[in-house]
Amino acid sequence: MSDKRVSIGPKRNPQSEAAILDAATELLAEAGIAGLSMEAVARKARAGKATLYRWWPSRGALLLAVYQRQKRADPHADTGTLEGDVTAFLRTLLAHWSRPEGQVFRHILAAAQGDADVAEALATYRAARAGALRPMFERAAARGELAPGAPLAEMTSALIALAWYCLLTDDLDTDPGRLARVLVGGWTVPGTG
């Protein structure tokens, strides 16, 4: 009798998915990103490699799935001001990255520098995060809080870059409000925020 988990067809089996992500998390803790391979995860989770590749087409995609699983839901607050929204976002994110499980993303950023699969998965993730953050800036523009022509896409990218910089330089205890003022200060209409 095989110890492999039973497939339920093209839909994800929640128990198999949990076992695979648990196995990947354990391997990351034991051996770091360098020790994480699809083969090792499949073996540890008692799952088929084909299942892993069907659900996560690359090691980078699996790494990001592990990270997203550890991350708490982060609905972006609508505080009524862009500075308040950015501050709330950064406060939540930097607090998450300050915990041990939050450090997975630092390893993902580092691995992306030399691993094409991880870099591709990270680019996809970054685009999705930018899409999720953009409404924060669109709300501010709709409220008349931003100067006409404010570059919303670039402001969104700058917020992501600022957060990643804090993680990579281990400056996670910086004041999120100060960072928010730096980011939005040049585009905010005086007297609106």
Residue 169 forms part of a structural domain:
yes
Contact 22, 46 (CB under 8 A): no
pLDDT tens for residues 64-87?
A: 898 888 876 666 889 999 999 999
Q: What percentage of the chain exceeds 70 in pLDDT?
A: 90
Residue 9 forms part of a structural domain:
no
Which residue carries 């520098």 as its tokens?
A: 113
Instruction: Choose one of 5, 25, 55: the last residue of a domain.
Output: 55
Domain harbouring 35, CATH code: 1.10.10.60
Residue 83 forms part of a structural domain:
yes
3-state secondary structure of 186: coil
Domain harbouring 107, CATH code: 1.10.357.10
Total domains in the fold of the chain: 2
Co-location of 35 and 90 in the same domain: no
In angstroms, the CA 44 to CA 51 distance is 14
pLDDT tens for residues 27-63?
A: 988 888 778 899 999 999 999 999 999 999 888 889 8
Residue 109 domain boundaries: 73-184
How many C-beta neighbours within 10 Å does residue 76 have? Answer: 16
For 32-103, where are the alpha helices, taking DSSP H only? 38-45, 49-55, 59-70, 82-98
Residue-level pLDDT at 158: 94
Co-location of 49 and 125 in the same domain: no
pLDDT tens for residues 4-15?
A: 544 445 577 888
Co-location of 49 and 78 in the same domain: no
Closest CA to 12 of 43, 39, 59, 52: 52
User: pLDDT category, 173, cuts 50, 70, 90?
Assistant: very high
Residue-level pLDDT at 191: 63
Co-location of 44 and 105 in the same domain: no
Residue-level pLDDT at 1: 42
Co-location of 144 and 98 in the same domain: yes
Residue 81 forms part of a structural domain:
yes
Co-location of 46 and 77 in the same domain: no
Co-location of 163 and 92 in the same domain: yes
Between 71 and 106, name the one with better pLDDT: 106
Q: Give the type of residue at 62.
A: L
Closest CA to 146 of 98, 90, 83, 92: 83
Contact 52, 41 (CB under 8 A): yes
Tokens of 49: 């490699």
Co-location of 83 and 174 in the same domain: yes
Residue-level pLDDT at 193: 53
